[in-house]
Structure 1
Amino acid sequence: MVQRRIRVDKLYTPTHVLHDATLIVENGKVIGIEEGGAFDVDYRGYSAAPGLVDTHTHGCGGIEVTLIKTTEELSKLAECYAKFGVTSFLPTTVSAPHEVIMRVAGIVKQYRGNGGKGARVLGLNLEGPYINPKRKGAQNPSAIRLPKVDEFNQYYEESGGLIRIMTIAPEVEGALSLIQHLSSIGVIVSIGHTDADYGTVMRAIALGASRATHLFDAMTGIHHRELGAAMALLDSEDVYIELITDLIHLRPETILFAIKYAGIHRVLAVTDSMPAAGLGDGEYELGGLRVIVKGGKATLPDGTLAGSVLTMDNALRNLVKIGLRLSDALRLTSTNPAQSIGEHSIGCLKPGCLADFIILDDALRIMATYVNGSVVYTA
């Protein structure tokens, strides 16, 4: 591949900021950074940052992950995310019948083998079906069922071992056995859609759970006499914390509290987006349920929040809006999501990292998205 030299006013690694820098890219990787210097791609007046990473998203641009039937649909989904600065993502299912999850798992395996345009598909995230119906949120209760190791193994085999995360409610029958099994084969167990108390969640963490599915939402909260799942997850140093930073699911003060309490190294932003992301108000579906989007808020007809229409570029801007430095906001939207699933060559912009990056203007709008050193989106 031809070497590219891309000059920008600011380059975020993201923990450090370099001024008037030239990013040197070759064979899909960053091989060097220089001050000033010769260049062949001119983005002076703009900033470069690691590409955004969304590890929990159900859809974009009218396409729902759980309903995809072809690799072409997954490719279109990947192109949609690239518009919003996402260079890597984990397509995420909701609770669904067995044959539906098997189909999606097979498509992800096939797509990873064939590649595609747009954002990089890192694997598959299963949000359910092994959750507590009492905390189902906007998931279809008819698809929720008890955990079964044998059933999960079918999904894992069909995906070619590409299931990266699975959300489980640890209090339901069979959950603790599955948590240990998943941990033993390297699948990340995320605690969510749970009615568990503090002690039960702590036991699940001791057995291998290491993530919180959209902290505070669809789980027992913090009470002065019963700390609940949220506090157990915050209290555990070995747990990554997902936050939906649309400023609808969580108040700004709650986001800042979680960052302060858990530490910025443990917190990551997710969109939990549904197919209306990138589109306007209207009526949509999620997991077979009717969703109404009005004023940027997605709900079931009864008012229950149904994921979000958040995009990762807006997640980034919202974090800056509530007071985070841009470098810290990039950690939450890029570095931490990548590291939370063991991907250490993305979410960074320094020699040795993959050349997945974005170009931002002063208003933090996406001017261009690069994956493997190639442009996949330009404004």
Structure 2
Amino acid sequence: MSITLSDARVVTLDGEHDGWLTIEDGRITHIGHGAAPGNGHSLGGRLVVPGFVDMHSHGGAGGSFPDGDPGTAAEVAAFHLGKGTTTMVASLVTAPLDRIARAASALADLCEQGLLAGIHFEGPYIARSRCGAHDPALLRDPSREELRQLLKAGRGQVRMLTIAPELPGALDVIRDAVADGVIAALGHSDAVYDKTIEGIEAGASVATHLYNAMPQLGHRNPGPIAALLEDDRVTVELINDGVHVHPAMLGLAIRAAGSGRTALITDAMAAAGMGDGRYPLGPMTVDVKDGVARIADGGSIAGSTLTMDVAFKRTVEQVGVAPAEVARMASLTPARVLGLDHEIGSITVGKYADLVVLGDTLEVEGVMRRGVWIRRPSGA
């Protein structure tokens, strides 16, 4: 089956141009400029960007990945898919080890089916002083044996581990994780500048939600932020929901790391797409008021109610980044981190036709995954 999308503003690795693209058997086969040859499905001048890749999300639509329920997880993925996220990783939170292992085993089934792109362990190897929405009573020093047990439960589907490099044994666990093909991410940490560098040297290559749950950037004590931003081996996650990070600091990080080392994430929890109220996040209880999620006992920010389409729109409109660069941060950069950029992440001949169609105000009007419309834009 072949389909041509015409009259579009197509965002490719070369930038944005007026043109068309053809899709056959779920993959992009041709990309052209100007008018399409023959008849096509007109997009009426809408912007077409690659499907979003969210490498850090805990839930949405009332459901939570840490619950480890496959049916609920499928509903979460479907909700985010409707918002343009064609690839997503399921992030867990700190919990008793047996609960983390059970959730990983259950979610591994969905990874094997292609519904999820992997599993992310955020905790339990993080700093109590920077625990955020994680239960401090359940935090632990890193253990190589425990890591092996958790990876075994995940059956090869664990993509990422967030860890504080200053904890006893952390550097060895980072080395073991990387050796097993797991991305080591530094975060929820009180590490000083030099210790952060040690974590990077051990193999860590991602900063978990830069700025949040780590010491502030200081001119005498630069801390982890400076180390993570300056190292070309590190990709930094950013949450652009208007709550976690000020637009000026988002812009600072993007200019320092560039779109090739910046990944927009949601860090979404169950309340994404829902109203205010009380929701679970692993063993913790979260209150959402005016769209802001906070731990019921203590008030720490507890993830977000963000979706990737809103993160895209905010980064263009409030941070002032061009759509083609934002598309890289929302798609290609996280795809590269996950080792999937040969198949997804950009509008490129040969890659899967994972596409998002955006209107004049950058609202999602169409979503295609693997060449199939999940949400068909009007007129197409």
Q: Please, what TM-score do these two structures have when normalized by structure 1? A: 0.94
Aligned residue in 2 for 1:17: 16
* Partner in structure 2 of residue 3 of structure 1: 2
Question: Deviation string for 1:85-144 (max 9, x for gaps)?
Answer: 1000001001111122112221222123334xxxx4111111111111111001112321
Report whether the alignment pairs 1:343 with 2:343. Answer: no
**Paired residue for 1:365?**
363
1:127 counterpart letter in structure 2: E
Between the aligned partners of 2:135 and 2:7, the Cα distance in structure 1 is: 47
Q: Where in structure 2 are the equivalents of 1:123-202 lying within 5 Å? A: 123-202=118-197
- My pick for the range that moved more, 35-44 or 348-357, is 35-44
Contact 1:14 1:49 in 2 (8 A): no
Distance 1:132 1:161 in 2: 26
Q: CA deviation at 1:378?
A: 4.1
What's 1:74 paired with? Answer: 73
1:306/1:15 CA distance change after superposition, 3 Å: farther
Letter in structure 2 aligned against 1:313: D
Bigger shift: 204-213 or 298-307?
298-307
In structure 2, the residue corresponding to 1:195 is in which secondary structure? Answer: coil
Per-residue CA deviations over 1:307-339 (Å, capped at 9, x if unaligned) read: 110110000011011211111111111111111
Please tell me whether the aligned partners of residues 28 and 372 of structure 1 are also in contact (alpha carbons under 8 angstroms): yes
1:376: which partner in 2? 374
1:214-253, CA deviations, whole angstroms, 9 ceiling, x for partnerless residues? 1111012222221111111112111000111112111110
- Name the CA shift for 1:205/1:24 in 2 (closer, same or farther; >3 Å): same
TM-score, with structure 2 as normaliser: 0.94
Give the match for residue 51 of structure 1: 51
Cα distance change of structure 1 residues 45 and 235 upon mapping to structure 2, 3 Å threshold: closer
Paired residue for 2:31?
Answer: 33
Alpha-carbon deviations, 1:19-41, whole Å to 9, x = none? 0x222111221111234223453
Cα deviation 1:324-359 (Å, max 9, x = unaligned): 111111111111111122211211002011111111
Distance (Å, rounded) in 1 between the aligned partners of 2:89 and 2:365: 23
C-alpha spacing 1:43/1:304, structure 2 compared with 1 (3 Å): same
Which one of 277, 284, 291 corresponds to residue 289 of structure 1? 284
Alignment match of 1:328 (pick from 325, 329, 336): 325
Amino acid at match of 1:17: E
8 Å CA contact 1:221–1:231 kept in 2: the answer is no
Are the structure 2 counterparts of residues 220 and 320 from structure 1 closer, same or farther at C-alpha, using a change threshold of 3 Å?
same
- 2: distance between equivalents of 1:38 and 1:157? 52
Rounded Cα–Cα distance in structure 2 between residues aligned with 1:30 and 1:94: 37
Letter in 2 for 1:104: A
CA RMSD of aligned residues (A): 1.5
CA distance in 1, matches of 2:93, 2:39: 46
Q: In the comparison of the two structures, how many residue pairs are matched?
A: 372
- State the Cα distance separating 1:62 from its structure 2 match: 0.5
Q: Which digits, 9 at most, give the CA deviation of each residue in 1:193-230, with x for residues without a partner?
A: 00111111101101101110011110122222211111
Give the match's secondary structure for 1:45: coil
2-structure distance, mates of 1:289, 1:104: 16
When structure 1 is superposed on structure 2, of 29-38 and 48-57 the one drifting more is 29-38
Distance 2:150 2:2 in 1: 40
1:268 equivalent to 2:268? Answer no
- Any idea what SS the aligned residue of 2:198 has? helix
Deviation (angstroms), 1:288? 2.2
Alpha carbons of structure 1 residues 80 and 312: separation in structure 2 relative to 1, 3 Å: same
For 2:38 and 2:330, the matched residues in 1 are separated by 31
1:56 aligned partner, one-letter code: H
Q: Is 2:253 the partner of 1:255? A: no
More off after superposition, 274-283 vs 369-378: 369-378
Q: Distance in 1 between matches of 2:211 and 2:292?
A: 18
Q: Does structure 1 conserve the Cα–Cα contact (< 8 Å) formed by 2:111 and 2:157? A: no
Residue type of the partner of 1:205?
I
Give identity over the alignment, percent: 34
Task: Give the distance between the partners of 1:48 and 1:224, measured in 2 at CA.
Answer: 42
> What amino acid does structure 2 have at the position aligned with 1:64?
S
Distance 1:9 1:40, change over 3 A: closer
For 1:96, give the aligned amino acid: A
Q: What secondary structure, in the 3-state scheme, does the structure 1 residue paired with 2:45 have?
A: strand
Q: 2-side partners of 1:258 and 1:24: how far apart? A: 36
- 2:308 maps to 312
Alignment partner for residue 235 of structure 2, among 240, 263, 279? 240
The Cα of 1:15 is off from its aligned counterpart by 4.2
Q: What are the ranges of 5 or more consecutive residues in structure 2 without an aligned counterpart? A: none
